[in-house]
A and B are shown apart, each in its own frame.
Chain A
C-alpha cells in the first residue's frame, strides 16, 4: 500500500538504478526462461510520516535521499559514514537479499528475520505490521524501550541483543535465540545502523524542509550536525558507566518473612505520593489507573486536540493510532522481561520506559532520585507478587 507510494518519484539515484536495472535485466535475460523477473533492488523509503502531502518538494526529497545514500548506501549495499563507528562487516551480513550469497557467506539476515514486521527501512511498517498490536518498533527515532541505561540515554548494544534473545512477551516479537552469536551481533549492528540513519533523516528533514537551508547539502555539515551527534549518543553509555543503571543493594528476600516484608514496603511505595505508580497502573495493579489518554512517542504525533484533527493527522501515517495500555501486573506478562532477581523490571522502574509516559524513579541525567534506588527493589517484589511470580 503506502509502502510504494513515495518510492518511485522520490527514489534515490533514479537514473543510476535504471541503468543498473537495464544491465541486470540483460544479464538475467540471457540466463532466464520466460517468467523470470529481474531483481529490483529495494530502496530505503523517505520518512514523510507526520508531514502533510505536498509539504516536501521533489527537489528537497531528492536532496535528502541522495545525501542519505551517499552516507549510508542502500539496503543491498550499506555504507558506513565516517566517524559513525558502525562495523561494515557485520552490516554486510545483515544487509542484502535474504537468499544469502553464492559463496555460502551469511547475508540478508535482516530481510530474512526482521523486515516482514519492521520494514526494509526500519520504519516498523513492514507488510505484517498493519495487523499487529502493538505495532513493531520504528527504529528511525532511535528510541528503544528495554534498556539498562539511565533515562534519556541510548541503549547498550547488549540491551538490543537481549531483546533479540528473549523476544518481547505479549507481542508478536519472537525470540531469535536460535541464531548464531555473530548473526545476533550483525542484527544488532544493523538495527543501530537503521536507527542512526533514521535520526540523520529526521535531522535532514528539519534542515531541508523546515529550515530551508541552501541546496546542495554540504556533506561535512550533515556529518557534523546530523550523523556524529547520534553516533556519539550511542557510544556514550558504552564508554561511560555513569550513564548505565547502578542498582541499589538488593534487600534480602531469602526467607518468606523477608519477602513478605519487602512486598509490604513495595505496596506502600507503589501507592506513595512520590512514586505514583497507581496513577497509571491502578490501585490493584490491573493497569486501570486514572490516566486514560496515554500515547507513546510513536503515536503522539497522530493525536490532535480535536477528533477531526486526530483523524487528519493519523491519515499521514501508515499505521493506525494505538493507545497505550499500562501493564496489568496480575497477568504476569512483562514485555521487557523480569530478569535475574527482577533486574530487568528494576531497570524499567529506575529509568522509566523510553518513548512512553512511564517516568523513572531513579536518578537521571540532571534529575535526582525520587525514592532511594535500594527501595526500588521493594516495588519489584510487590509488582511480581501481584502475579504470584517470584523474583
Chain B
C-alpha cells in the first residue's frame, strides 16, 4: 500500500485518503480524489503446459435439439497459443473515480443468450448502475436461467422457446442487479445441467475478461496505485506466487501500463 507509492502519488492521494478515512469507509486501499489522468492496464495470461482437452459434456435432455451440438466443458479455456481465457481481472479497490467517457461509451445492455443449448457468452461483467442484463433465448426449446447473487434478488427464469420466423417477446427477460459482488456469480439452467456461465456485477466498469489469446485490457483507470483481483472459475482466486489470493497492486500511470506475460502453471488447474 503506502510503501509502494511514489512521492508524487502520495501527494495526489493524500486529499482523497483523508476524505475516505473521515467518512469511515473501510476501503482496502487509498482513495484518490480528482484525477484527470487515466491509464489502461493490459497484460496476457498464459497457460504453462499443454492445452488441456476439453471434455465432451453429457447431453441427455432435449436431445432432439441439443444432441446435434458438440457441447464441451468450458471451465478451463486455453487458446491455440496457450492464452488463458475467461479469467476475470478487476479492480478490487472501492470507491474510485470513473472516467466520464466510460459512462457514454458503455453499452446499455449486457446480453446473455441461450443459443445452441449453451449460455453465450460464458463469462460476463456488468456495470450494474449503468447497464441492464438482457437474458434471451434463441433456441426452439424452453430455457431456464437461475442465479443467486449474495444479498441480491435471486433469479429463476423460464424463457419460452422461439417460434419459427417470430421474435417472441416471451423469450426475453430484463434483469437489474442492485449490488456489487466480489466474485462472479454462477449461472445455471435447471433444465440442462451442462449449461454454465458466470456474471460479475460491479459498481464500476473496471473489469476485464481475458480473451482466447489470454490478453486483457482495463481501460481508463484513474492514475494511482490500485489493487486488482484475478479470478478463474475452476480455481476461484487465481493464486500465484506473485499474486497471493489472485491479488496484485499496480501503480497506474497515464497511458498504457503493461503487466507483460504472466505464466500460470498447468498444475494450478488440476482437479483433485
Contacts and interface: CB of A to CB of B under 8 A. Distances in A.
Interface of A: 143, 151-153, 199, 202-203, 206-207, 210-214, 217-218, 220-221, 226, 229-230, 233, 273-274, 276, 279, 290-291, 293-294, 297, 305-306, 308-309, 312, 352, 354-355, 357-361, 364-370
Contacts of B191: 276, 279, 291
B161 A359 contact: no
A220 B158 CA distance: 39
B195 to A, nearest CB: 13
26 contacts: A143-B154, A152-B156, A210-B182, A213-B26, A213-B28, A214-B27, A221-B25, A229-B178, A229-B179, A274-B142, A274-B158, A276-B158, A279-B61, A291-B190, A291-B193, A294-B190, A305-B271, A306-B271, A309-B272, A357-B144, A358-B190, A359-B144, A359-B158, A359-B190, A360-B156, A370-B170
Contacts of A290: 60-61
B169 interface: yes
B182 A211 contact: yes
A199 B148 CA distance: 13
Contacts of B60: 290
Interface string B235-269: 00000000000000000000000000000000000
Nearest to A369: B170
B260 to A, nearest CB: 27
Contacts of A151: 155-157
Interface of B is mostly: loop
Contacts of B18: none
B160 A357 contact: no
Task: Kindly name the residue among B144, B160, B176, B193 whose own CB sees the greatest number of chain A CB atoms within 10 A.
Answer: B160
A220 B24 contact: yes
A218 B26 contact: yes
Contacts of A357: 144, 146, 156, 190
B12 interface: no
B49 to A, nearest CB: 20
A122 B135 CA distance: 35
B198 to A, nearest CB: 15
B183 interface: yes
Contacts of B148: 297
Contact of B154 (A152, A206, A207, A217): A152
A360 B28 CA distance: 41
Contacts of A152: 153-156
Nearest to A354: B154
B157 A217 contact: no
Given A152-B156, A207-B26, A273-B142, 14 more contacts: A151-B157, A206-B151, A214-B26, A229-B151, A229-B178, A279-B61, A291-B193, A297-B154, A305-B271, A308-B272, A358-B156, A359-B190, A366-B174, A368-B169
A182 B172 CA distance: 45
B26 A217 contact: yes
B224 to A, nearest CB: 18
Contact of B158 (A143, A210, A294, A360): A360
B142 A211 contact: no
A12 to B, nearest CB: 20
Contact of B175 (A291, A294, A366): A366
Interface in B16-49: 24-28
Contacts of B157: 151, 359, 364, 366-367
B98 interface: no
Given A211-B28, A279-B61, A367-B157, A359 B183 contact: no
Given A206-B150, A291-B190, A366-B175, A214 B28 contact: yes
A354 B153 CA distance: 11
A368 B28 contact: no
B111 interface: no
Nearest to B152: A229
A266 B272 CA distance: 47
Contacts of A203: 150-151
Nearest to A353: B156
A300 to B, nearest CB: 9
Task: Kindly name the residue among B27, B154, B172 whose own CB sees the greatest number of chain A CB atoms within 10 A.
Answer: B154
Contacts of B156: 151-152, 352, 357-360
Contact of B183 (A210, A361, A368): A210
B119 to A, nearest CB: 16
A297 B174 CA distance: 23
